[in-house]
Amino acid sequence: MVSHDNIRAQMRKGILEYCVLALLRGGPAYGLEITEGLSGQGLLDSDGTLYALLSRLRKQGWVETWWRESASGPPRRYYALSPDGAAALNTFVDLWVPFSQSVTRAISEEQAP
Amino acid sequence: MSKHRKVAEPEYHPLVRAYLTDLERALTGTEPDEREDIMIAVREHLQEALPPEGDGDVQAVLESLGPVERISREASPSTPEEPSRRAGDLGFVLSGALSIVLLALNPFVALFFAMIIGSTAFFLSRRGSGNRGLLRVAAGLCAATVLVSVVWIVALLPARSNPPEVGPTHSVESGDRP
């Protein structure tokens, strides 16, 4: 039987990166801020996996990074949405809204024969 | 500020040290750049999440980071260099060496050959295709050939453009001719 965790992990694949981009739409953020933002929405079940994802997004050119001194501790690496990342996010949003509506319709009980 | 920056290494709790060692080992088969990025980011996360003095809730912070295997699964596996691509890059180096040999035969042919091979190797290395080191060696060999052949050709030009000097002609009159 497929476990709850497995289904959630499958659903996150390919979607979480756009949630990160959407979070960065609000402005640059450092690692811990991003993990807190995503965990607070129940989108992240282990913070460490986010850093692998952020590294890939940086390599793809979808996020830009830089270091900034912190008043309360060590320097922080900030992540910001790049123009390519913003374009990718817009494309995802265009596709996601009708797709998620179709999924909702497909699995709703009223549609069942 | 630079993109890559090492965060000053603090004194970690033994559990944190063990976690970082495990993570580094788990990331062995991943892309080197990505591995370095992840290690830096996780260290920064730990420094942010754990207070500088006292143990804090180390166990809870490590649990929130998740198992190291899960992190390594998210990372991109390193791509071994394809044998055919490496052979192609070696071919560029051999062609660069061949251009030097061609110099001995004909500097014009060597120049033409080195310019084609060298510029291709240079653009491939700039684009990040193939083995950058081998491509740079090939481009360097071709650049040397171009330099030597140009000097050679320039040195040859005056010799070819000036016709050999002809000395004053002397007509020989022969009184013996009938």
Phi and psi (nearest 5°) for A68?
-140, 140
How many residues would you count in chain A?
Answer: 113
pLDDT at residue A112 is higher than 70 = no
Q: What is the mean pLDDT of chain A?
A: 90
Percentage of chain A exceeding pLDDT 90: 69
Tokens at B6, concatenated: 């090492």
Least confident of A9-18, A104-113, B148-157: A104-113
* Nearest alpha carbon to residue A48 among B124, B168, B122, B75: B75
Q: CA-CA distances (angstroms) from residue B39 to B23, B30, B57?
A: 8, 12, 21
User: What is the CB neighbour count within 10 angstroms for residue B149?
Assistant: 24
A62 by DSSP, 3-state: which?
coil
Residue B128 confidence (pLDDT):
63
Interchain contact A13–B (C-beta under 8 A)? no
Q: Would you place residue A34 in the very low, low, confident or very high pLDDT band (cuts 50, 70, 90)?
A: very high
Residues A52, B74 contacting (CB under 8 angstroms):
yes
Domain range list for chain B: 14-77, 81-156
ipTM of the complex: 0.85
Q: Do B45 and A39 touch (CB under 8 A)?
A: no
Point out the residue among A46, A53, A65 whose CB comes nearest to the CB of B3.
A65
- Strand-pair partners of A78: A30, A66
Q: Measured between alpha carbons, how far is B164 from B153 in angstroms, rounded to an integer?
A: 19
C-alpha distance from B135 to closest chain A C-alpha (Å)? 23
Give the mutation candidate from A49, A53, A72, A82 for the B interface (greatest B CB count, under 10 A). A49
pLDDT tens-digit profile, chain B (178 residues): 444 555 556 778 899 999 999 999 999 989 888 999 999 999 999 988 887 666 668 999 999 999 999 999 888 887 766 666 677 888 888 888 888 888 888 888 888 888 888 888 888 877 666 777 888 888 888 999 888 888 888 887 776 666 555 555 555 555 455 4
Q: Would you place residue A110 in the very low, low, confident or very high pLDDT band (cuts 50, 70, 90)?
A: low
pTM of the shown model = 0.63
Q: CA-CA distances (angstroms) from residue A90 to A24, A54, B95?
A: 13, 18, 47
The label of the residue with tokens 């251009």 reads B99
Tokens at A7, concatenated: 């289904």
- Chain B residue closest to A56 (CA)? B34
Least confident of A23-32, A40-49, B63-72, B169-178: B169-178
Residue B35 confidence (pLDDT):
93
Higher pLDDT, A80 or A69: A80
